[in-house]
Amino acid sequence: MAGLSLAYRAIKQGIWSSKSILIIDKSEKQENDKTWCFWDSGESPFEEIVYRKWDNMLFFTNSGNKIELDSKDYQYKMIRSIDFYQHTLSYLKSKPNISFLYSEISNYKQDNNKAIVSAGNDVYSADYMFNSVLGKPDLKPNDTYLLQHFKGKFIESDELDLNPNQIHLMDFRTSQKHGCTFVYLLPTGKNSALVEYTLFSDKLLDKDEYDFNLDIYIKEILGIKDYKTNEEEFGIIPMTDHKFIRKNRRIVNIGTAGGDTRGSTGYTFYNTQQTITNIIDSYESTGSPLNAKENIGSKDRLYDSTMLQVLAKGNYKGHQLFADMFSKVPAHIIFDFLNSESTLSQDIKVIKSLSQLHFVSPFIRALMR
């Protein structure tokens, strides 16, 4: 997603039309293997392929209280990966200066002011390499590392009677025994929806458990006895306050590999697009991508680190933390906060909504460190 976004948007803006570009991926993208969701108050760079968008959002606490969220100008948007692949690849493959290689990358390094990549049986060099290949980072002693892991099903049932313009952004009406656990429900029609069972924890579940808990939610919470599954997806996203290296001379890391996954939420698509905007702006103004400013700043990383430490220690239960936040602060302020676009006064409102004992005090200690 990160690499194709960068190539597509840069070529669209004409900044690399005279450059020879090689795009390496381990396989061709011909399946709908995932969905990307994000909240946005404006036009996405990929607005034309947004599959669904919703104006109304609900939050459910673990005890079953329903909160209607004040999202103001924000919409929640979904892009299907197959639409993204077809849209970006059809455009990029029409450009004579772009080549594609489908192969595993065995190694990459820098030498003599060039980025060098070994893939297949060949070695390639370039002025710059934009890397989105992610491995687990070498964690430092104080780094927190959790996983956001999820199983989703696109279901269809005549028993479903949904408002197609209203989502369950976070529904905590499910067991919390494995850690911070919720479901989000995204209607794709009156009788169909994506139902995604999601956890923030340090280890994965057995494969059958995801299906078991999804089935409980669909049957007991939604009240659906019979349904058809049209598609499934499974994903794992790192949630960490580890400081990823953005750039190292000729190599620029993007996407999760460059730190574009928000540590406290796992959301990546919006942040990646902001980073790409900054890279393109830097190249247009200076002729180099290395002067791009960071979208997620030190202040926001401090918030993420504190929230992750609190979640990892388990003293402030995740379902209660998010319930406190969404019940006391308008959702549009929280979205600003989680998009790294909030003002200090908005930050204070969010922090004050959380437990003095379990968040504010750890936050002050983190700030002092």
Do 49 and 167 share a domain, yes or no?
A: no
CB atoms closer than 10 angstroms to residue 121: 7
Question: Which residue, of 261, 291, 321, is where some domain finishes?
Answer: 291
Average pLDDT of the chain?
93
Give residue 158's pLDDT band: very low, low, confident or very high (50, 70, 90). very high
* 8 A C-beta contact, residue 289 and residue 128: yes
State residue 171's pLDDT score. 98
Q: Which domain holds residue 170?
A: 145-239
Q: Tell me the CB-side half-sphere exposure of residue 197, using CA atoms within 13 A.
A: 24
pTM listed for this prediction: 0.93
Name the domain boundary from 239, 261, 279.
239
Residues 230 and 255 in one domain: no
Co-location of 94 and 181 in the same domain = no
More confident residue, 29 or 8: 8
Looking at the fold, whether 122 and 267 belong to one and the same domain comes out as yes
Q: Read off the pLDDT of each residue in 330-351 and give the average, rounded to a whole number.
A: 93
The pLDDT tens digits for 35-64 are 999 999 999 999 999 999 999 999 999 999
User: pLDDT class for 369, splitting at 50, 70, 90?
Assistant: low
Tell me, yes or no, whether 182 lies in a domain. Answer: yes
Confidence of residue 310 (pLDDT cuts 50, 70, 90): confident
The residue behind tokens 């590392």 is 145
To the nearest whole percent, how much of the chain has pLDDT over 90?
Answer: 81
pLDDT at 298: 87
Residues 16 and 129 in one domain: yes
| CA dist., res. 68 & res. 60, Å (int) | 9
Domain match, 265 and 360 both = no
Give CB contacts under 8 A, 24+ apart, made by 56-59.
Answer: 56/163, 56/165, 56/166, 56/167, 57/166, 57/167, 57/168, 57/169, 57/331, 58/166, 58/167, 58/168, 58/169, 58/171, 59/168, 59/169, 59/170, 59/171, 59/322, 59/323, 59/326, 59/327, 59/331
User: How does strand 35-40 pair with strand 75-80?
Assistant: antiparallel
Residues 155 and 175 occupy one common structural domain: yes
CA dist., res. 115 & res. 122, Å (int): 14
H runs (alpha helix) in the chain: 2-12, 81-92, 207-216, 269-286, 298-313, 318-328, 331-338, 344-352, 361-368
Asked if residue 29 is part of any domain, the answer here is yes
Please give the Cα distance from 311 to 133 (Å, whole number): 27
Residues 218 and 362 reside in one and the same domain: no
Say yes or no to pLDDT of 203 above 70: yes
Same-domain check for residues 174 and 79:
no
Average of per-residue pLDDT across 274-300: 93
Domain end position, chosen among 221, 239, 257: 239
